[in-house]
Structure 1
Amino acid sequence: MLALSAEGILPKVDYAIFADTGWEPAAVYKHLDRLETEIARSAGIPVLRVSSGNIRDDALDPNHRFASMPLYILNQDGKQGMTRRQCTGEYKIKPIKKKVRELLGYPYPQRIPKDVLVEQWIGISTDEFHRAKDADVRYMKNVHPLIEMGWSRSDCTRYLASLGLADTPKSSCLGCPFHGNAQWRHIRDTSPEEWQDVVEFDAAIRKGNARANATGNKLLGQAFLHRSRVPLSEAPIDHVTAAERAALQDELTDVYELEHGVAGGCSPWACRGEVDAPAQDDFGLTS
């Protein structure tokens, strides 16, 4: 959408906003720098980077309230579950809304007049039209230009390729539990430092987040980044195991998702996955 606006195919936007969780792959930050210097700057479109903190550091900080990631849980009785997904709201939506209020001239807790409104573009394509929703606040109006243009993900890919941006990476946390095996392998095989980072994080959150443990609300089970619910360093990311196939009942869509992850990137208003297992409160606490 930024490129379409910069080229005049779509109207010129006032700002482009990137919500930074603090734990994106290096390739994403490199790509963002390129977009800013090669496309946005010449078009006079400011790229604003906003943040609510570093999601990795916050999860491991016993003094910080942590908005939980959708981790895979293995309870002591063998039952499986997932923790609630709060990270999108805390690390994506919250800082964007804060910046929008500031741009409108009404930072929190000021009341925004009824006649003050921002038009917010969200990059959902026709493949995911069901994710297109109205804003949950009065001062925002959600608009979905790609859907209005009838563009699919393939159309977007071809357009990016025409601009020399065929290598556009997915935006998502380095240790996002919604990664498929292909993405885990890509991290392992192309970026040893980032792989070591996610392996260490996976081990560090095994018993729950640091704040919960410090306050005595320990996880009654174990938490994992990989859906196999084994340590990431040992997870079967090179192939789909027989046990996994049996658990998935050989449904091709689920096998595809296991390999490639949930489609899409981590858009604030269209997170790349939804929790499909029973979600548990307070970082998966079963007590």
Structure 2
Amino acid sequence: MLSLGAGVQSTALLLLAAEGVLPRLDGAIFSDTGWEPEQVYVHLERLEKEVATPAGIPVYRVSAGNIHTDALDPAHRFASMPLFVKNGDGSVGMIRRQCTDEYKLKPIKRQVRTLLGYPAGRLPRGLFAEQWVGISCDEFTRAKDSGIGYALNRHPLLELGWSRTDCLRFLARRGWQSTPKSACVGCPFHSNAQWRQMRDHQPTEWAAAVAFDHAIRSGAARGNATGSPLLGQAYLHRSCVPLDQAPVDTVTAHEWRERQGSLLDLLDPEDGPRGCSPWTCRSDDHDAESAVAA
């Protein structure tokens, strides 16, 4: 079973399985937060039509709701996003991240249990699904166990010794050089490069992110409706200023390091941190990136 984020690495794994380089997959699971970039949905449609279906690999689309509308709905319990918070004393913190577990991992786990024939209750000892996760050699520290007995994470790209650049080269040879990065439109872990890309090339998504940033200034709608507003002000950008005023044109030290890579990285349509995988949230990229001057 493939954990299909529809980004570079998981797309490469699907193609490798479809071509017989890797063992045939019993299925691929795409966990939809409801707020992926439009190009991800377009890519997923093409991937299913041209690769998965001809190879006999079913694609299961699962979801726990729409993270965008849920955050703005005062009647809906919301799993918090890792928003940056500017406190009254001027210090900056970050809200505890729950969204990956609620909107990515839990739907995948439910689907795995269903496919194993046990959607609820205890599973027989020793029954599990092998789950492929797209982790390449340049990010091997992200490789993790699933933490559940009925899903055994495997990382075929590590076994092949493939880097992200190897995946990009492979995809380009197969006509998939425009594979996007998978991450929510309003993910606070976006780099400046990704925010710039959105502002300059996806104006509709940029406008939605700007509006969302304004709407969550006091936290999620449910907390405000129930008398538990955020102590401080929340922002999507780490500079803790409104997104449409944030210094997204600043090139951070992390981005400069990214630019020093191989010329093959030019195959990648965007600079900046990797996309978001259900099992590998980009919080590590946030820790690595230098602070942006406000």
TM-score (norm 2): 0.86
Kindly state the Cα deviation for residue 255 of structure 1 after the two structures are TM-superposed. 6.3
Counterpart pick for 2:112 among 76, 100, 106: 100
Aligned ranges 1:63-82 → 2 under 5 Å: 63-82=75-94
Distance 2:287 2:71 in 1: 23
SS in 2 for 1:32: helix
Show the counterpart of 1:253.
254
Work out whether residues 193 and 255 of structure 2, in 8 Å CA contact, stay in contact via their aligned partners in 1.
no
The residue type equivalent to 1:253 in the other structure is: H
Residue type of the alignment partner of 2:196: R
Q: Residue deviations 1:224-279, cap 9 Å, x none?
A: 00111100011111225xxxx7xxxxxx337658x954x221111111224649xx
* Offset, 1:115: 2.3
Structure 1 residue ranges, 4+ long, deviating more than 6 angstroms after superposition: none
In the aligned structure 2, how far is the partner of 1:92 from the partner of 1:182?
24
Whether the 8 Å CA contact 2:73–2:221 is kept in 1: the answer is yes
Say if 1:181 and 1:260, in contact at 8 Å, map to a contact too.
no
**Native 8 Å contact 1:75 1:221 kept in 2:** yes
What do you get for the CA RMSD once the two structures are aligned? 1.7
| Matched residue count | 264
| 2:281 counterpart residue number | 271
Structure 1 residue 189 corresponds to structure 2 residue 200:
yes
Kindly provide the CA deviation profile for residues 162-194 of structure 1, in whole angstroms up to 9, marking residues without a partner as x.
111111100000011111112111111122211
2:175 is the alignment partner of 1:164: yes
- Within 1, Cα distance between the matches of 2:107 and 2:254? 34
Deviations 1:54-103 (A, max 9, x none): 00011001111111111111001101100111111011000000000000
Residue pairs, 1:78-227, within 5 angstroms: 78-108=90-120, 110-227=121-238
How far 1:195 sits from its partner (Å)? 1.2
Measure the CA separation in 2 of the matches of 1:273 and 1:59.
Answer: 20
1:33 aligned onto 2:45: yes
2:50 paired with 1:49? no
Aligned residues: percent identity? 63
The equivalent residue for 1:283 is none
The alpha-carbon deviation at position 128 of structure 1 amounts to: 1.3
Gaps of 5+ in 1: 246-251, 278-287
**CA–CA distance in structure 2, aligned partners of residues 276 and 133 of structure 1:** 18
Contact 1:129 1:147 in 2 (8 A): yes
Query: Which 10-residue stretch deviates more, 128-137 or 142-151?
Result: 128-137
Q: 1:7 Cα deviation (Å)?
A: 0.4
Q: Match of 2:266?
A: none
- Are the aligned partners of 1:179 and 1:260 in contact in 2 as well (CA < 8 Å)? no
SS in 2 for 1:65: coil
- TM-aligned CA distance change 1:125 to 1:71, over 3 Å: same
Take 1:129 and 1:189, find their aligned partners in 2: how far apart are those partners?
32
CA positional deviation for 1:132: 1.2
- Which amino acid letter does the alignment assign opposite residue 143 of structure 2? A
Q: Show the counterpart of 2:35.
A: 23
CA contact (8 A) 2:237 2:246 kept: yes
Q: Which runs of 5+ in 2 are unaligned?
A: 1-12, 259-269, 289-294
The answer to whether the 8 Å contact 2:33/2:104 transfers is yes
Question: Could you tell me how far apart the structure 2 residues matched to 1:204 and 1:63 are?
Answer: 16
